[in-house]
Amino acid sequence: MSALPPRIVPPENLARAAAEWMARSLQTSLAMNRRVSLALSGGGTPGPAYRELSRLTLPWERVDLYFVDERFVPPDHPDSNYRMVEETLVAPLRLSPSQVFRMEGERGDREVAAREYEAKLPPVLNVVLLGMGEDGHTASLFPGHPALEEQSRRVLSVVGPKPPPWRMTLTMPTLLSASAVLMLVAGAGKRETVHRALAGDPALPAARVTNAQWMLDSAAAGR
């Protein structure tokens, strides 16, 4: 369970609050590092937050983008996390391709693709944005899946229960070593899982990210 109390915001303010949290965390890291890394999740919740973030003033030329997870689909596929980040952040900010470290979902050899991504990752990720599914998964680390127990690899290729099943994901040690982690969760459908996770239920992958700041909309928080 996270040591920090969850932040609860009205649904209409969630995207802006998450963007401001990411911008502040990037600024903190930028004060100490020449370049900083921001690792992003997919799913439905974060897109509006990425759009808000793209409107905030930062020395973007010093920020490198990484991915928390990716489906093994081509980068222009509707299920591609890269595609969502491209549309909401990379294109609006006109980021250079050299700043965007994509997980290559179109690669046939998934194991090689995961090993290559591991080689691209910086030793420590500065800022990480996570989401949580209704089953408590985060990144593409699912409840009861052996990948959840991985201790040495930083990136894995996994077959998950959620379609599309073939995915690449950062592992728990990678998430736990990051400097600043936001767990962004919205919607009444996740209320019960949120409460279990905040109570520290170790069966829920999201609950194991003990360094995360949780940010909930009031529907997910049940208030």
Which spans of this chain sit near ligand 6PG (rule: CB under 6 A)? 41-45, 68-69, 81, 131-133, 137-139
User: Which tokens is 183 given?
Assistant: 């767990």
CB-neighbour burial class of residue 3 (10 A; exposed 0-12, middle 13-18, buried 19+): exposed
To the nearest whole angstrom, how small is the minimum distance from the Cβ of residue 61 to ligand 6PG?
Answer: 26
Instruction: Round to whole Å and give the CA distance between 104 and 169.
Output: 11
Cross-strand bridge partners of residue 39: 66, 128
> Is residue 22 within 8 Å of 49, Cβ to Cβ?
yes
- Rounded to a whole number of angstroms, the minimum distance from the CB of residue 6 to ligand 6PG is 16
Q: What is the nearest approach in angstroms of ligand 6PG to the Cβ of residue 194?
A: 12
In Å, how far are 7, 138, 193 from 163, measured between CA atoms? 30, 15, 20
Nearer to ligand 6PG, 11 or 43 (CB): 43
Nearest CB to ligand 6PG, comparing residues 54 and 193: 193
Shortest distance (Å) from residue 63 CB to ligand 6PG: 19
Which residue's CB is nearer to ligand 6PG, number 63 or number 182? 182
Q: At closest approach, how far in Å is the CB of 163 from ligand 6PG?
A: 11
- The letter for the amino acid at 98 is S
Give the nearest distance from C-beta 110 to ligand 6PG in angstroms: 16
State the nearest-atom distance from the C-beta of 19 to ligand 6PG, in Å. 15
Our CB check for ligand 6PG shows the closer of 69 and 104 to be: 69
Q: Which is nearer to ligand 6PG, 134 or 149 (CB)?
A: 134
36/158 with CB nearer ligand 6PG: 158
Which bin fits 77, alpha (ψ -120 to 50), beta or left (φ > 0)?
Answer: beta
* Closer of 133 and 217 to ligand 6PG (Cβ): 133
First-to-last C-alpha distance (Å) of the chain? 20
Sequence-distant (6+) residues with CB within 8 A of 125 are 37, 38, 39, 66, 174, 177, 178, 179
Residues whose CB falls within 8 Å of the CB of residue 59, separated by 6 or more in sequence, listed in order: 30
